[in-house]
């Protein structure tokens, strides 16, 4: 089991319920894949550093989790097929 962190940005057109539902969906992917969610830090709506597909802001969320080495690949796949995710990154933390 390794420690990871992921930051993802959700589209600003989503309402509050949809944002919460997406965060819960991604937490569920981690937990159903055998991982443990250590921390979820919702940063709220912020301005992007640069425009992405004519969008200037988004909902930022940081998730720290512990999982086996296969789970980040599955989480990356789920991020890529989700229309609500503008950008994401998954990083293995140093130990």
The string of DSSP codes covering 6-64 is EEEEE-TTS-HHHHHHHHHHHHHHHHHTT-EEEEEEEEEEEEEEEEETTEEEEEEEEEE
pLDDT (0 to 100) of residue 94:
84
Residues β-bridged to residue 91: 5
pLDDT (0 to 100) of residue 82:
94
For residue 84, what is the enclosing H or E element? Answer: none
Burial of 27 (0-12, 13-18, 19+ CB in 10 A): middle
Q: Domains in the chain, please, with CATH?
A: 2-50+72-92 (3.30.70.60)
Divide the 95 residues of the chain into consecutive groups of 10 and give the mean pLDDT of each group.
96 94 95 94 95 94 95 95 95 87
């Amino acid at each position: 089991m390794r420690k990871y962190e992921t930051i993802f940005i959700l589209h600003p057109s989503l309402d509050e319920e949809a944002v919460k539902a997406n965060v819960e969906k991604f937490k569920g992917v981690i937990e159903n894949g055998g991982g443990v969610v250590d921390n979820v830090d919702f940063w709220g709506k912020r301005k992007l550093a640069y425009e992405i597909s004519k969008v200037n802001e988004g909902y930022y969320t940081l998730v720290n989790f512990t999982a086996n080495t296969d789970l980040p690949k599955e989480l990356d796949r789920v991020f890529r097929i989700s229309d609500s995710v503008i950008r994401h990154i998954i990083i293995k933390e140093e130990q």
